[in-house]
């Protein structure tokens, strides 16, 4: 079916995000259970509550538009969550697995931030300030969740890299920490753009 105007495109993208959020709400409890780190597990549980609120906000927008939320399948999220499922099923060192779970979760967060930023802008262009405000609230929560995952990753990545080992000479043991700090700093800079 051809999309002939921005309003139609806006509704289609909202439906795509709605399907994505529904899928995420099913995946987060599994990720929380798979996480070894209590802090990571709690972050996934907290984001589940936010995800349920994101679904409610989208339903509010659909209601105000006189539209039904279903009908679109989010292929992108399906693929990202498939990768996350593979990480959940992995066996191995708990800290390394947790680092992989964070990577999978951050891919999801970045996908959502791109989607919510786009539909928020379209809502503004269309003069739908109520929808724009609701979408901005969700975008802010997605960005905060991504930041929290980055903070958790800063310590877990060191553990996964073996930087906490007391063996080896002191100079070698500080290299992974310096690299992790540099990578974390780079991620923070990227996420602010």
pTM for the model: 0.81
**Where does the pLDDT of residue 158 fall: very low under 50, low under 70, confident under 90, or very high at 90 and above?**
confident
Average pLDDT, the chain: 87
Interval 172-180 mean pLDDT: 42
Tell me how far apart the alpha carbons of residues 167 and 116 are, in angstroms, rounded to a whole number.
46
Residue with tokens 């066996």, as numbered in its chain: 91
Percent of the chain with pLDDT over 70: 83
DSSP codes joined into one string, 88-120: HH--S-HHHHHHHHHHHHHHHHHHHHHHHHHHH
- Measure Cα distances from 174 to 22, 158, 163 in Å: 42, 10, 7
Percent of the chain with pLDDT over 90: 75
Cα pseudo-dihedral 15, 113, 41, 29, rounded to 10 = 10
> What would the pLDDT profile of 100-126 be if each residue is shown by its tens digit?
999 999 999 999 999 999 999 999 999
Pick the closest to residue 109 from 162, 51, 163 (CA basis). 51
Q: In this predicted structure, what is the pLDDT of residue 38?
A: 96
Span 6-192: which CATH code? 1.20.1260.10
Q: In this predicted structure, what is the pLDDT of residue 181?
A: 41
> pLDDT at residue 46 above 80?
yes
> What would the pLDDT profile of 127-157 be if each residue is shown by its tens digit?
999 999 999 999 999 999 999 999 999 988 8
Q: In this predicted structure, what is the pLDDT of residue 159?
A: 84
Domain range annotation of the chain: 6-192
Which is higher by pLDDT, 146 or 179? 146
> What would the pLDDT profile of 58-80 be if each residue is shown by its tens digit?
999 999 999 999 888 999 999 99
């Amino acid at each position: 079916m051809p999309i002939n105007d921005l309003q139609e495109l806006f509704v289609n993208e909202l439906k795509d995000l709605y399907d994505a959020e529904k899928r995420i709400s099913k995946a987060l409890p599994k990720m929380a259970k798979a996480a070894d780190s209590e802090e990571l597990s709690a972050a996934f549980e907290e984001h589940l509550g936010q995800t349920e609120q994101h679904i409610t906000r989208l339903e509010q927008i659909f209601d105000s538009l006189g539209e039904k939320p279903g009908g679109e399948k989010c292929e992108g999220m399906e693929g990202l969550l498939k990768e996350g499922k593979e990480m959940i099923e992995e066996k191995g060192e708990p800290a390394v697995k947790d680092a992989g779970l964070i990577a999978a979760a951050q891919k999801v967060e970045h996908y959502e931030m791109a989607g919510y930023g786009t539909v928020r802008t379209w809502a503004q262009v269309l003069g739908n300030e109520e929808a724009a405000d609701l979408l901005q609230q969700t975008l802010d929560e997605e960005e905060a969740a991504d930041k929290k995952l980055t903070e958790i990753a800063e310590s877990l990545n060191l553990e996964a890299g073996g930087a906490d080992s007391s063996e080896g000479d002191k100079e070698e043991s500080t290299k992974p920490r310096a690299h992790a700090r540099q990578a974390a700093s780079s991620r923070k800079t990227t996420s602010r753009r």
